[in-house]
Structure 1
């Protein structure tokens, strides 16, 4: 185990100095099983960028679809003979320097979404021609060309039916232990996901795919339940339930579970390239498919055999998969599985830490674990409002990349018109994806689709992120105004520079390089995300570029003076909210308890020795007796009433305010 490096000692370090390689990571398509789709796209050796181009998506969500700019060609940036002086520049001027000489950071995989049961369900309703079209829109070289994809291992809150691959009972909350996993099966929903993911591989051949479970089978948990009850919280469950957690005596079974899952997907033509052991392992609320997984138990599972089993199968283990406010969790998992170079090769982060994600944590993490990859693996847009500006994608793609992430993915990819199908018991009933399926022959591409495309279409696998100097990044998500910039050098040595302008005014941008003489100038309109494609530095007049479905018209020329184009920012409109009509239902079968030698009555009761328990969430050991809800007893303790605790020969009868 390596020594833990305290994060507080690293906060003052401003940026990364070394990059992490993605060269040993695999792809999901198995060439021996099917004909894989093409790899790469604009910015690689087969599709070089030879002319400057600009693409723009307005952040405004219009009342009438397709009335704003959506991945639309914009005025191409102009190559200048030299950096303009302040007097010749267009106010307000923003000078940005790409540190091409010394600012090499991490290698990139790409951007994408998550496969959920909602996506497979709505795609199953499409006719063959429409399905082929939507898959090309998402993964084709003339579409969004997404290359970093997640999928759910079993069900999630974006599933109409709840299940794991080994429930071993009449329902997800009525399973009995299956110690040899003889009842393991992908089932109809898992099989449908695998088959759609295989079809994705026939459209794009270089997707990195990783899987995440929302909970382990109920019989592997202390409460015996896949979904814990919501404790009658108004509007649905949000309280954490202490025993909604993994029981480590089932580590051998869960090791086999992951092995069988990877092998079953491979049998259906899909190579899983990575896993996280648990989606949001610190989320253990009721009314939601989730589970607490202690980092010690996660590390033990990896160290006791899962790590070697996944390495043998070419699968990257990614620690954590939760918010940026608890970086000690992935650190402990890495330290407990051999340190750097051991069985855990990456850390995964979500965007939900309130009030906003602090992605600078990733800088500190990099200094503690220099060769560990990092990814932003989930962020969701919720109930979008017509007339508002949508920066959810860009504000959670650009900052993670500038702080060291090699890829980023938004949450749900596709739903029906009611943001489903989704769980009736709790979870996200208003999560927006890139695709809304309207009928068997019609679907809508949302503003998020075009926002994701500003990244996924133009950043190639194997590209390298570079440090931004000057005025490239201003503000953070806690304020009202931001201007963000990221820049990657693609495999053809061209540059993809992506801007998010939420600063309040159009910005005249001048870009220069520390390692070259090129200077580029153009305007980034307010309330937009803009991608510039710049040919390799010091390249002469070129031939026509690969268009990726669109094309720029400005040639390189030999250098010009600064030009101030007149652009109009999108106007606002009256705001009206979309709302979800979902009604949360009670979680079924929450009184199920796996038989043991102890006597336990009611839901979530635990007894050992001669313990006797009655009620909900009671715990007893030795000769303890517990009655009521949330009671705990040990030794000869007796605990009566809600939220009571007893130990030794103590007797407790008390009521405590609050909830777990």
Structure 2
């Protein structure tokens, strides 16, 4: 007869398997095809000891090294519930590791734009190689969820283009009904070549594309609504910049030629397709196009959906703000067998409402969802910025499987960008200053707090206690608890409550074990916590014979003083306070660890160089 503990464990395992089945990413291809391999926590490179990494919210003066940026800090301490110490207030954090499994994760990343490609191509070859390692290498940000512009966008400079303009300029071409004039052109080719280069550094990137507009001749440019004027006495412009549904066959051919050309000529696999970036945005000044939700569904139903399925490409609906959730409903309802993904942006004011992700999940439990665009607009030094953390953590808390920021790189003047409209204050995570220098900006380090430690195929778990606030409140303490493929945990905290927070973290499936640590005020901190298998070892040889014996000691972390990453952080032993640990699920023995380096140094995270600006010197 099975023991009570085994019965509880079996029930917990069953709940886990049932929960994640509806939010699985299985079957999604990635460029390179090597799945979850590629970084600490991926199964082949397990987390061996508790670790902590921190980035301050304060935006420093570039190269000043005045803040902690992906700095290694004091590891959290593992204790039992009856340990005591003199502590003041503490924040109790409880993760439902038994029945709280939610969605699988693809990962985190950024957006390739023409501004990124042009500035990167201005770098000397060895400098570009170094930068690509810092972005995609396993010792760098290791980004695995990347967006790119299909044709021009507002970050493309003055020259607007599509892949089939068929005329003297964008919006001036003649209809090309058999797409005989389709060509990537110099800018599209440069983009494809750069994406192929990305694959040399990161083999398991999920790459998805989005057009800001289809070719001008596919739009209703010659149609006007006679007699209808707005309050400014101008003609209503909607039909003047909207998709012409009579050209659905040509639009389908356009999407597929793009996907097939990238693969056949450059070896680049497109893994996802958004049919239109911001389909409800039809303002002028840079490429845009109005595309009705019913028309997205019609594109899928009339051939695009099946063609994407045949190519292993994920169709992604909507790709716009959270204030119009009826749009993706129309697409999902209109083409239920051909689409299973929704993309969201962050620009709803005064704050995005990501609860719509949960609403979609309840109606369409197989729909995978993402936050695909948000930007840090005109960031100011010596002010706090949580833009990346807020844009990543809130969507994932509500069910998103990945997130990407807008604008990977620009020049110092936020460009090249369109002089006629769009974003003239979107700063890249990378600023390219000259052919031999670039600067990693604040967003680079904030993105790294997620992309370095969350592996593809990991699972997000429900946090039962400890989260405070939301996008509409001034005080916020956000938490993500993600279990990586090696069964370790990446627990990410965002502290915007105005004071340091003493945290006591427990898991419902790990009765009697409590992790203690301090989350400094105005910071984002990631804890890496070993799996129960690692914690359950006693002195002896790890099952992976290539790893050394792993000793366990007391719960005390000695005082650490020194420089970690790009900022100074002096650490003192952490106190342990009385807490009540949930005991509703299976119990396991309490084991305490002494912080040790990650044995596999190839996949550890060394201190970031104090010099943020790379040079040939």
User: Do Structure 1 and Structure 2 share a fold, with TM-score over 0.5?
Assistant: yes
Aligned with residue 446 of structure 1, among 435, 441, 447:
441
Aligned with residue 251 of structure 1, among 248, 271, 288:
248
Pairwise CA distance, 1:441: 1.0
Give yes or no for contact 1:52–1:556 (8 Å, CA) kept in 2: no
Q: Which position in structure 1 is the counterpart of 2:408? A: 413
1:434–1:37 distance in 2 versus 1, CA, 3 Å: farther
Give yes or no for contact 1:29–1:269 (8 Å, CA) kept in 2: no
CA distance in 2, matches of 1:169, 1:317: 30
Pairwise CA distance, 1:243: 2.7
Q: Which position in structure 2 is the counterpart of 1:276? A: 274
Query: What TM-score, normalized by structure 2, do the two folds share?
Result: 0.81
Pairwise CA distance, 1:434: 1.2
Q: Deviations over 1:91-118 (max 9, x none)?
A: 3310001100010100011000011100
1:63–1:83 distance in 2 versus 1, CA, 3 Å: farther
Q: Which position in structure 1 is the counterpart of 2:283? A: 285
Listed as ranges, the matches of 1:88-487 within 5 Å are 88=85, 90-160=87-157, 161-223=159-221, 241-267=238-264, 268-337=266-335, 339=336, 342-471=337-466, 473-487=467-481
Give yes or no for contact 1:96–1:510 (8 Å, CA) kept in 2: yes
Q: Which position in structure 2 is the counterpart of 1:26? A: 29
Give yes or no for contact 1:29–1:198 (8 Å, CA) kept in 2: no
CA distance in 1, matches of 2:295, 2:187: 28
| More helix by percentage | 2
Say which one has the larger Rg: 1
Pairwise CA distance, 1:286: 2.0
Pairwise CA distance, 1:310: 0.9
Consecutive unaligned residues in structure 2, runs of 5 or more? 1-17, 224-228, 543-549, 558-572, 577-617
Give yes or no for contact 1:276–1:317 (8 Å, CA) kept in 2: yes
Give yes or no for contact 2:76–2:517 (8 Å, CA) kept in 1: yes
Pairwise CA distance, 1:432: 1.5
Pairwise CA distance, 1:543: 9.7
Q: Which position in structure 2 is the counterpart of 1:631? A: none
CA distance in 1, matches of 2:521, 2:249: 55
Give yes or no for contact 1:83–1:519 (8 Å, CA) kept in 2: no
SS in 2 for 1:531: strand
Listed as ranges, the matches of 1:502-651 within 5 Å are 502-517=496-511, 518-537=513-532, 538-540=535-537, 557-559=553-555, 563-564=574-575
1:114–1:542 distance in 2 versus 1, CA, 3 Å: farther
Pairwise CA distance, 1:127: 0.7
1:133–1:354 distance in 2 versus 1, CA, 3 Å: same
Q: Deviations over 1:483-521 (max 9, x none)?
A: 000011101110000000000000000000101132100
CA distance in 2, matches of 1:60, 1:418: 21
Pairwise CA distance, 1:325: 1.1
Query: What TM-score, normalized by structure 1, do the two folds share?
Result: 0.76
Consecutive unaligned residues in structure 1, runs of 5 or more? 1-15, 31-35, 226-230, 546-553, 566-660
1:541–1:186 distance in 2 versus 1, CA, 3 Å: farther
Give yes or no for contact 2:30–2:271 (8 Å, CA) kept in 1: yes
Pairwise CA distance, 1:289: 1.4
1:420–1:430 distance in 2 versus 1, CA, 3 Å: same
Pairwise CA distance, 1:392: 0.1
CA distance in 1, matches of 2:474, 2:495: 11
Q: Which has the higher contact order (CA 8 A, sep 6+)?
A: 2
Give yes or no for contact 2:276–2:318 (8 Å, CA) kept in 1: yes
Q: Which position in structure 1 is the counterpart of 2:80? A: 81
CA distance in 2, matches of 1:544, 1:147: 33
Q: Which position in structure 1 is the counterpart of 2:596? A: none
Give yes or no for contact 2:36–2:457 (8 Å, CA) kept in 1: no
Q: Deviations over 1:434-492 (max 9, x none)?
A: 10001111100000000000000000001011000112x11112222100000111011
SS in 2 for 1:385: coil
Q: Deviations over 1:143-193 (max 9, x none)?
A: 000000000110000001210000111011211111000000011111111
Pairwise CA distance, 1:544: 12
1:200–1:39 distance in 2 versus 1, CA, 3 Å: farther
Q: Which position in structure 2 is the counterpart of 1:498? A: 492
CA distance in 1, matches of 2:324, 2:470: 20
Give yes or no for contact 1:51–1:556 (8 Å, CA) kept in 2: no
CA distance in 2, matches of 1:283, 1:453: 31
SS in 1 for 2:526: strand
Pairwise CA distance, 1:44: 1.5
Give yes or no for contact 1:240–1:283 (8 Å, CA) kept in 2: no
1:555–1:375 distance in 2 versus 1, CA, 3 Å: farther
Give yes or no for contact 2:30–2:269 (8 Å, CA) kept in 1: yes
Q: Which position in structure 2 is the counterpart of 1:619? A: none
